[in-house]
Amino acid sequence: MRINYFITQNPKNIPDGVLSQLGNKIQHALHAYTPTEQKGAKAAAQKEEAARQKEQEKLEAAQLKTQEKEQLRLQKEQEKEALRIQKAKEEEEKAAGNVFEVGSE
């Protein structure tokens, strides 16, 4: 197993491949002393915030979709129950009508 250590005051000194793997770890330790570094830090923070917002929107959309599916399932279940009750009433009325007819003969 190969471990590389990078000690630097400027993340531009770290190879892009390594920097991309470190991601947030570098951002948390990033200090911006010059205007160029401050612009870079601000851009990184804005990019991170945009990514968080996008992830939050995806999560909310997935939750909404799940809720809609659950509502549809419950609605179908209620419709099935209403049909079952209606059929039972119709059978009961039919049976009551048959009893009446049988009793009248």
Confidence at 54, pLDDT banded by 50, 70, 90: very high
- How many other C-beta atoms lie within 10 A of the C-beta of residue 37? 16
Select the more confidently predicted residue: 81 or 34: 81
Question: d(Cα 44, Cα 12) in Å, to the nearest integer?
Answer: 13
Dihedral (Cα; 34, 35, 38, 40), 10-degree rounding: -110
Confidence at 67, pLDDT banded by 50, 70, 90: very high
- pLDDT for 87: 94
Confidence at 83, pLDDT banded by 50, 70, 90: very high
Confidence at 23, pLDDT banded by 50, 70, 90: low
Angstrom CA distances, 105 to 95, 100, 101, stand at 15, 9, 6
Mean pLDDT score, 11-27: 69
Mean pLDDT score, 67-74: 95
